[in-house]
Structure 1
Amino acid sequence: MCRQSATVCLTKSPTAAQRGVNGVAERLVVLRDPRDRRGRRHSLVSVLLTACCAVLAGARSYLAVGQWARHASLDTLARLGVRATGSLGVRRAPSSSTIRRLLTLVCPGGLADLLGCDPAGSRHLAVDGKAARGSRTDTGQAAHLLSAVLDGGRTVSRLRVPDKTTEVTGFTKLLSPFDLAGVVVTADALHTHRDHARWLVEAKKAHYLLVVKRNQPTLHSTLGSLPWKEVTARRYDREAGHGRRETRSVRTLTVTGLGLDFPHVAQAAKIHRHRTNLKTGKVTRETVYAITDLTARAASPQTIGQLARAQWGIEAVHHVRDTTFGEDTSKIRTGHGPENMATLRSFAISTLRTAGHHSIAAALREVSYPPFTRPLDLIGLPLTSNAT
């Protein structure tokens, strides 16, 4: 049973400590095993740890995960919790078919929560969605995955948006398990809804910064008509990189008492980006409006600019999953496979970011040199004194 279907998928509710402090193995113990009790050769935790480590070593598919496990040493299997069987006490790695079966069955919401980072105490949390294009079939659309990501690309949780619905329906379901008190939640224009803003501030004691585009025509028009030329609270930033030069300006305006029809809104922001492609010389300009419940005392134009840029940074995580892990070309389609493999990829990114790596591609190469020890060390699996 799965949180994604509004039922329970855990044997007991994970605490903040279990999600963020204990080791990965201890956190995975609370997941419910979807298999029948009879005939289980491998524990759920050992199979999931095997998949985590294989993806950290660069595996992109069930077959690749199974191949990694098949070549693992007895000591590696012991650290993963693979049981010793038979009179000789031999440890046999889970097969590709076992790995495939479990990853298509295990609750994706619970797995994403337990492998993710806990947002409590963090400053910012970004919400955005992405389609796994390779999961599209002749009869079904591609899996659409809604993610919550902390600064630095560390994923908190993810859920699959039900077919024939939009990301909007999954917003509160994605964030409801977590303590968001004091956290600024940012999202793109699709999630700029009054109900979302009210829920964040009143139910979760959080703050919001939401982008406003033309899908909210009245609100967008009202923001555009504000006296931006008279605003003195401004911030300018310039930087060069990735083959372009960019200048950003942020203007903020207190809108309390101006009759802006949006719950708890305190400030509006006008963000202008001016980009020059250094190779082609092409110049692009973009103006974006945003609203927030943060007051001018709590959030300066510089702070608003940083939060907006952090929201755009979630796209970098999606880019890494596509280019480095080949998510868009992956043909994993059945059951919960698409979202669970996406969770393992995001877990690998979070783990490598936490270890201090800036380039995920370079980090995967480094981990692949000692592929049966380095991934286990990164996720904190203890050493064993006995290989059998």
Structure 2
Amino acid sequence: MDASAPVPPRPITVLVVGANGYLGSAVCRAFLRAAGSAFFFRVYGLVRRESTALALAADEVVPIVGSISDPESVTRTVLAQSPIWDVIVICTEPSKLDLVSEEQHWHDLLLLVQGLAKSSASSKGGPVRPMVLWSSGCKDYGTTKVHNDPELQPHTEKSPLVPHPLVRGRLDGALRALEAAHKDGGKAGFDAAIVRPTPLFGYSGSYYGAAFDYMNEYVTAMRECDEKILKIPSPEGTIMHGIHIDDCGDAYVALAQAAIFGNSPDPGLSNGKTTAGRAAIVGQAFNISGRRYETLNEVGSALAREYGFTSGVRFHVPTEELPGALSSQNTDLVFGYSQWVSSDKIRAVTGWSDRRPLFHENVGVFRLAYNAAEQGGNDNIAKTRRRMAGHW
């Protein structure tokens, strides 16, 4: 779709791959919220299991059930819903237990995208060149220094890629997709951008949920002890730079709208800021992070108040001093992964900004939502707990 193309005379079609996941479901909700007076997004969610389709339908997302491991079959299934796709958002994350299977997953996913692009270019009502937003993450960059370190610098989209071993396959898959999109002058028929969110919080919590699990176990372990101090093994200057999941979803929509509507006032932005056109999106990477980072001191102190530890917090405590089973619990991905990430680029290009409270500002409400999701048997909580235990 040309940067100056008008709004298509039909619903703008969006396919979210991995729509039942924590990120995917938020992206679906964000596109559904973004309808304007002259357009609306029709959102489809590709999932592997029939059992998850009903929840998507209840949220006004059209469910498509199919397995990426059979790219020809799933491509036919998706095209039966619509031969034209304006936006494709990739939110999957396969198991890390079998590296061969993971690499095959990203290969098959790219075949799906290429098949949908071919149909979109040749179908009646086309040609349409899908905008593919391929999710990776800010752990692609590794860690930064801690708060107040004189050498502290934020990660930007130009920072070297030094991924955590657990996300290496995801990063490679995203880079291959970007390369395929622009190989031979873009003959693949789709445009692509890599999207790198920081850790996410809100609702069922993602990895921030592990912070609540830590606190619940800590409270249980200290129930018969008079000590009213919270102990955390990481330094207080550790940077926790997260973003609320709803703000993250809105960032995906902002990128898609900039690519679709071009260099014009974005109808999805209440502030009416002018966005850059499609050329500023394609072939690029965009970080998504909160308006400022939080320190572990801020987060730990808020957790201590919330859970009634009146003597405050001790940081950088040796693990052997932690009570009970907590000494063997791996919380490094939550409390110990210091990273400051700049999101200036997406803000400048699209006019997007985050609006929800920071984690430490609203920790009681986030705890309430997490507990409710846990009691409701939320699948994403169970998945996160397995991963925190090392079962990827």
TM-score (norm. length: structure 1) = 0.26
**Structure 1 or 2: larger strand share?**
1
